[in-house]
Amino acid sequence: MLLLGLLLAGATAAFVGLLIAYNLSGGPEYTVTMFGHDLVTMNHLSAFLAGIALTLVFGLGLALMAAGAAHHRRRSVRLRTARREADVATAQRDAMAARLDEQGATVSDEDIPLAGASRQSYAPTHRHRPHIFGH
């Protein structure tokens, strides 16, 4: 979203800049030309409304950039937290393995507790017959 917002805001700003650069002549009727082509003839009201529309598109681009930046910030905080928790769990596992090695015991996967997880099977405890429609 951040990239899309940046692209939308940049394209709108470039379009407005080119329109201003190519159309500096004034009068009651404006003929909008760009790169040697006449695009449209506008009066004051239509030029004003076109400016409002371009401003709204530019604002949408800025809103997309802000939302993308906020999403990136939230995701990086969650990732940093998960990495920190994984480091703590790894340190606990290594400390437990070192203590068991010092005692001369053998270490198996069942001996090392998992932080926050259980060793239960995730299979359902009871099974249902499939429902047959109409019965």
Task: Give per-residue pLDDT as tens, 71-87.
Answer: 989 999 999 999 999 99
Q: What is the mean pLDDT of residues 40-49?
A: 78
Long-range CB contacts for residues 6-15, cutoff 8 Å, separation at least 24: 6/61, 6/65, 7/61, 8/57, 8/58, 8/60, 8/61, 8/64, 9/58, 9/61, 9/62, 9/65, 10/61, 11/61, 12/54, 12/57, 12/58, 12/61, 13/58, 15/54
Of 4-8, 86-90, 98-102, 120-124, where does mean pLDDT reach its minimum?
120-124
pTM above 0.85, yes or no: no
Tell whether the model's pLDDT for residue 10 goes beyond 80: yes
